[in-house]
Structure 1
Amino acid sequence: MSTTIHLAQFTVALWCVLAAALLPLGCAWLAKSGRGGFDNHDPRAWLARQTGWHARAHAAQANSFEALPFFIGAVIIAHMLGAGQTLLDILALVYVMLRIAYVGLYVADMPTARSAVWAGGFLVNSAIFLIGYR
């Protein structure tokens, strides 16, 4: 009698979930960096008073948190439905790269390009959600 132990693989797409989950933390670091006087006793009020790229980095943080549940759900659903792993991994990598570009464009105050990249990310995420559909 042979016993086979099956260990779940941590796919590239699942690593991308971790990367996407860490992205808001990078935005928070940007929002709070380079400016003296950060008030950790009342960080929300301090952030609400920020202007310029610090305020945009904070807004990118909020949007990154808002986009995260759909991405996590799409990756999990694609895995559950047995989507092709290579395509899933590629789409997840593209999504994370688009989200990183989105943050850069947000901080750089390039709203039209930022919106186009956001739309691209949404389409890629929708494709991830649907690739396991049969």
Structure 2
Amino acid sequence: MSEQSLVKQGVAQGTSMAGAVLLVTVGVLEFLQGISAIAKDQVIIAGIEYTYQFDVTAWGWIHLVLGVIVAGIGAALFTGAGWARVGAMTICAVSIFANFLWLPYYPWWSITIIALNAVVIWAVATWNPEAF
């Protein structure tokens, strides 16, 4: 294996471990965001021309369930198991989609989570645990 490949794998491994931490953190935050939307849905305001008509309480339940799944897969990603890597990429894609639809409610938060999920997908897809 070339030195450049080892460096790339080192970066991918480090980013994957950071991605696992990010997934757990994002999962906890999405869980809390879901609880907030369920408990106090009058606090969150959407524009009147929003195409995707969901009640904020429904969005709260979506984020609550998604948060639990994201945190669980993030914790499993620390093992480097193949299923956890596939699960991380899948749940990140679902999270990107959900946060795209959540853009009118909290645009900066949604954009941040979309970007972080993209980084996690790159890192997990690039990382080869058997390279070390």
TM superposition score category, shorter chain reference: 0.3 to 0.5
Q: Which has the larger radius of gyration?
A: 1
TM-score, structure 1 as length reference: 0.38
